[in-house]
Amino acid sequence: LVVALGALLPAAAARRSQDLHCGACRALVDELEWEIAQVDPRKTIQMGSFRINPDGSQSVVEVPYARSEAHLTELLERVCEKMKEYGEKVDPATHRKSYVRVISHDGTKMDLSGVKIDGDVASSLKFACESIAEEYEDELIEFLSHEADNVKDRLCSKRTDLCDHALNIPHDEL
């Protein structure tokens, strides 16, 4: 019995870690997409060289600020603070953990039945978020600098393998 339990514990710990990192990745992408959507679409930033060309012109281009590298880099530095607004939900059938917002962006009441809210969950999620943001900064900027569909699945499952069990996670959009 002891040997059987000893064999199962590492697998359970690995699954907990995978659930945490997958949930952190998905929450990170959700938060970044929400922040991008809050920026006025008419707001632009100048990109390019500020050197004067021989003909007196400059090679400066105006791009939308919301998806600019400067804005995305700034968001990545502070977005993991939002993880304190998340709680942990355990699927009763699979015992897999997912992470859900416990404070809505717009103040609407949320159904928090079955959601565990505590400091340990928030700090674990924040730590996982920070390590993902640091390790996959280039990929996050690449995906989010262009408007794309299914960024969560494409980044968290296909590109990073953080959610290789993603087929078992319900899609928010559906």
Q: Is the pLDDT of residue 161 over 50?
A: yes
CA 21, 25, 27, 32 torsion-angle sign: positive
Q: Is the pLDDT of residue 171 over 50?
A: no
Domain ranges of the chain: 16-40+66-159
| Nearest in space to 128 (alpha carbons), one of 162, 103, 87 | 162
DSSP 1-17: -HHHHHHHHHHHHHHHH
DSSP the chain: -HHHHHHHHHHHHHHHHHHHHHHHHHHHHHHHHHHHHTS-TT-EEEEEEEEEPTTS-EEEEEEESTTSHHHHHHHHHHGGGGGGGEEEEE-TTT--EEEEESS-SS------TTEE--HHHHHHHHHHHHHHHHHTHHHHHHHHTS--S-HHHIIIIIIT-TTTTGGGSPPTT-
Q: What angle do CA 126, 151, 161 make, to 5 degrees?
A: 65
Q: What is the pLDDT of residues 33-65, one digit of tens each?
A: 999 999 998 998 887 766 777 887 777 778 889
- Which residues, other chains included, contact 41 with Cβ-Cβ below 8 Å and sequence gap of 6+? 64, 66
CB 27 within 8 A of CB 81: no
Sheet containing 97-101: order of strands? 97-101, 86-90, 115-116
Q: What is the pLDDT of residues 66-90, one digit of tens each?
A: 999 999 999 999 999 999 999 999 9
Q: Is the pLDDT of residue 14 over 80?
A: no
